[in-house]
Each structure stands twice: as structure tokens, then as C-alpha cells.
A and B are shown apart, each in its own frame.
Chain A
């Protein structure tokens, strides 16, 4: 097995991704778990770069790490009693381990027949760098054209916006104040309060004379 620079980088990124993912589910501190998640996503971004998809790598960092991971952390914070370090409460770890292995084997058995299509002769050798699938030269521009082309991805694109809108409306409904009056805008500074206070001492001094 030849060690090229590329296979070494692939190895590093894979280890980072998988290792961090493992830490996410095994660490006891929830905040650390969130940070490990970010690290894992970062590893995935690196893998995207290796796959010559820098645009997706960029989106991964901007959206997943920069928005969704932060959202997850905020959601963690909303949970009460989150600071307490929780011990292992689950006694079914053997069953879950068995299930995980089963799913993994299923996945491998489904993906393996496609080895030839992807262009990999043998899993133990590294991917040939000069043998990627026919990539159009200008993937970035092609991506842009594909989402507005009615023959290609226009419909999913518009539906995506509806999906996002639904998500936001749902969240708003969950957190909107039950009392409509609470949401009404109040003047932050009301000068009348101050005027009343000033009248107070002068009244007292007038009464005290």
C-alpha cells in the first residue's frame, strides 16, 4: 500500500471524524460532546475537500459548524439540570452494540457492489487521484445552474424554502408568548415616571415646612 500525501491526509481526516464522533457519544460532559461534534463536522469538511468539493466543504463549515452546532448548544442550554454530569443510565448497551454492528454490516454489504462504479479496485489501496468521476470543470457554476433549471433541481430548491419556512413557523409557535399583550411594544423610557418622582420630594418638603 503506497502512502501518498493524499492517503495520509485522508487517514488523518477519517481518524479525526470518527474519533471525534466516538467522543461525542462517550464523553460525560454535554458541552464537550457538542465541541467534539464540531470537530467531527470539521473532519467531514476536510473529507469533502479531499473529494474536490470545496464548495460543499465551505457550506459544511458555515452551516453545520457555524449555525447548527450553535443551535444544538443553545438547545442543550435550554435543558434544565444539564450541568450535572450524568452517569451511564442505560443498561441496554449490549443490545445497542449488536444493533449498531448489524446496521454497519448491512451498509457495507449494500455499498460493496458499487466498488467498481466508483473506480476503486481494492479497498485496501488508496483512491487514485487522477480517476475521479467525470467532473465538469466548473462545478461551482454548474451547481448554480442546476438549482434554477426546471429540468433539474428547481422544484427541490423551492420546496426547501417552504420547508425552512415551516420550521421557523413551528419554532415561533413553540416559543411565542401566550399573552398577546406581553408582545406589545412599550416605550422603554417614560419621562412621566421621572416627573412623578421629582414631585415626590418637593411635596414632602412642602408638607414638612
Chain B
């Protein structure tokens, strides 16, 4: 898309490239942010319905303008910087937080020809951009000159870095199957959605993404009833607004990334020829993934920090490592997996992987059930002992 702008009006090559890129940057950035406004509304409506209430419906038709109203309200609030706070770092943190999430949009393939820039290291770039968000959390907690904010920040970092491991391990499976880090390549290689071939990996990715964003059952970081707002406690006005925007943008971006890596991105009937259709498919798939994330958030109660970390290091990480090895093993067993060029080629590997995934899920389910049984027996034996007062 940025190519056609290069036959510009006699401007030098470099300048034309610069202008075209800048325009592209604007388009991608604006798209991300504007979709966030819509995304916030969707989330609040769906969350409301799941909780048997309506959600915002007063401001504008169906409450669509609610988000804008909230933003306006937040902008005109007083900007309070607590005494003793580290000015520069305090102000930088929310900006860095938003930046970390916006940078993810650079490698999102909207359609066959539309992508910010097709980096050769797309998937690795995504993880690198995620690391920037972690730094923002640390800066926010430190600069606030508030004990609770600092503790909140430490816990947040512990959670964020812990769940990065299974997330990346899950991301590695599409990379392995497609043989490339480039997001456009990964989408092109998905003649059959990877979600059908490796559902366990999709599950792992969804769960660890949810934790990476500090959402849903993993939202100890900003739980209103604990540690106030965690590392964001001291932030008022628009700075808090920026953290808020970053969180929702991250949620929607996670949906988009799920769609790219596991649901086939912009692939669909006639997507190759009619580019706008590819864009539509991507949005539909992202919305579906986003819906699952909202659903997860609204359904499962909050986990404690030790439960959360135990779950990660004692369950998710070993499972995702073994998952990676098993998938790699099956992939090598099937012949000709390095040249999958059409749907028919992809059928056999997909079926084999599906069977392997089924076996893995079965084994994991059995192991969990055994453990649950043992836990229950242990607790029952404790209660069976006579109480001290008798």
C-alpha cells in the first residue's frame, strides 16, 4: 500500500519513502486507537450483559459515546503528582505503557498487501514490544513514592514476566509450523487454521495473554479491593486514562494477535483478490477472540498471587514446553511438512497434530483429575481428625 505512493511528484526517492511511511504510520496508529474506543464500548456492553445488567446506554445511541464522554471527563481532571514522586519517571510511565502496546500494531497484517511493515522478525518484535510495557509498570510503581504502589509494581512485574514464558512458547508453534517469524508469512501459511491443528497451544496462548495483560482472573494488579489500584494508585487524570487506554488496547491487540497466529488472520474466501475482504475477516476473527477474552474475564474469580505464580511455573511452563516438543515431534514424523502449499497438503499434518493434541489434553486432564482426587482425599483426612475442642 505504501508502494504506490512512491511514484510521487518528482520528489527524491528518500523523501517519497519518508512521506509514504509517515502516512502509513498515521493510518495504523489511528486505526488502533479508534478501534480501542469501540472496543471499550463493546467490552462494557458485553460485560454488562454477562452480569445481567445493560451496560452504558445513556450517552448517545446505545451508549456509544460513553467512552468519549469518559475521556473528556478524565482530561479535565486535575493532574496530581504526589509529593516526593520522581517527576520525569512518573510522567514517562503512562506514555511508555501506551507506546508498548501501540508498537504491536506495526506488524499486524490487515490484508494481503496491507501491513505496517513486514519485519523479518515479526513474532520476536512482538515480544520485544511487550517488554517495554513491563518497564512502564516498574517505572510507575517506583516513581509514585508510595509503598503500596511499589509493592503492586513488583507483584505486577513478577506476574508479567512469569506469563511471558508460556506465551512465547505458544507463539513458537505457529512459527515452527510456518517456518518464519514474519506475521504475513504465518498468515499465508495457514491453509488450515492452526487453531484446528493445535488447540492446546491456542488455549495456552489465550490464558497467558490474559495474564500478560493483567486482565480477568489475573487482575490482582489492579483489583479495586486490594492494593487500591496497584502501581497506578497515584495516577490522576489523563495519565490514568492512558493506562486505561493501554489496557484495553492491549486486550484488543491480543485478540488480533490470536487471530493472526491461530485463526488464519485475513485468510478467507476471496481474500487474496479482494483485499478489503481480508481486512473484514481479520476483524471478525479478532472480535471473536476478544469476545473469548472478555468472557474469560467475566466468568472466573480472581486468583491470588501465589496461585497465579504456581499455576504458571508448575503447570503452564512444563505443559507448554512438552507441548512444543510433542508438536515438533509429530511435525517431523509427517512427511513433506516443509512444503505445504495448499489445503490438501495441510490436511494430513493438521489431522495428525489434532490427534496428538487430543492425547495431550487427555493426559493433562487425567493428571489434573488425579491431583484433584488426591487433594480432596488429603483435605478430607484432615477434617476426619477430631477437632481440638472435643
Report whether chain A binds chain B: yes
Q: Which A positions have Cβ atoms within 8 angstroms of B?
A: 5, 29, 31-32, 35, 38, 54-55, 57-59, 61-62, 65-67, 69-70, 73-74, 77, 140, 187, 190-192, 195-196, 199
Q: How far apart are A138's CB and chain B's nearest CB, in angstroms?
A: 9
Q: How far apart are A30's CB and chain B's nearest CB, in angstroms?
A: 11
Contact B161 A5 (CB under 8 A): no
Q: How far apart are B386's CB and chain A's nearest CB, in angstroms?
A: 10
Q: A35-B139, A66-B134 are in contact. Are A196 and B387 (CB under 8 A)?
A: yes
Bound Cα distance from A63 to B132, whole angstroms: 12
Choose, from B118-126, B206-214, B360-368, the stretch at the interface: B118-126
- B142 interface residue, CB < 8 Å from A? yes
- 6 A-B pairs within 8 Å (CB atoms) are namely A57-B121, A58-B128, A65-B132, A65-B135, A66-B135, A196-B387
Other than A65-B135, A74-B154, A196-B388, give 19 A-B pairs with Cβ distance below 8 A: A5-B14, A29-B86, A31-B142, A54-B121, A58-B121, A58-B124, A59-B124, A66-B131, A66-B134, A66-B135, A66-B161, A67-B161, A70-B134, A70-B138, A70-B161, A73-B138, A77-B154, A140-B121, A140-B181
Bound Cα distance from A66 to B382, whole angstroms: 44
Bound Cα distance from A193 to B388, whole angstroms: 9
Contact A35 B124 (CB under 8 A): no
Contact B142 A61 (CB under 8 A): no
Bound Cα distance from A144 to B365, whole angstroms: 34
Bound Cα distance from A62 to B379, whole angstroms: 42
Contact A66 B128 (CB under 8 A): yes
- B157 interface residue, CB < 8 Å from A? yes
- B127 interface residue, CB < 8 Å from A? yes
Q: How far apart are B132's CB and chain A's nearest CB, in angstroms?
A: 8
Bound Cα distance from A77 to B135, whole angstroms: 15
- B89 interface residue, CB < 8 Å from A? yes
Q: How far apart are B118's CB and chain A's nearest CB, in angstroms?
A: 12
B383 cross-chain contacts in A, Cβ below 8 A: 191-192
Q: Which B positions have Cβ atoms within 8 angstroms of A?
A: 14, 86, 89, 119-121, 124-125, 127-128, 130-132, 134-135, 138-139, 142, 154, 157, 161, 164, 181, 379, 382-383, 387-389
Bound Cα distance from A32 to B132, whole angstroms: 16
Contact A35 B89 (CB under 8 A): yes
Contact B382 A196 (CB under 8 A): no
Residue of A nearest to B304 (CB): A188
Q: A62-B127, A191-B383 are in contact. Are A199 and B389 (CB under 8 A)?
A: yes
Q: A31-B142, A192-B388, A196-B387 are in contact. Are A55 and B382 (CB under 8 A)?
A: no
Bound Cα distance from A195 to B382, whole angstroms: 14
Bound Cα distance from A190 to B157, whole angstroms: 31
A67 cross-chain contacts in B, Cβ below 8 A: 161
A196: contacting residue among B125, B181, B389, CB under 8 A? B389
Residue of B nearest to A189 (CB): B379
A35 cross-chain contacts in B, Cβ below 8 A: 89, 139
B382: contacting residue among A29, A190, A199, CB under 8 A? A190
A70: contacting residue among B124, B130, B157, B388, CB under 8 A? B157
Bound Cα distance from A59 to B154, whole angstroms: 23
Residue of A nearest to B164 (CB): A66
A69 cross-chain contacts in B, Cβ below 8 A: 135
Bound Cα distance from A65 to B139, whole angstroms: 14
Residue of A nearest to B89 (CB): A35
Q: A35-B89, A70-B157, A195-B387 are in contact. Are A62 and B382 (CB under 8 A)?
A: no
Q: A35-B139, A61-B131, A199-B389 are in contact. Are A55 and B124 (CB under 8 A)?
A: yes
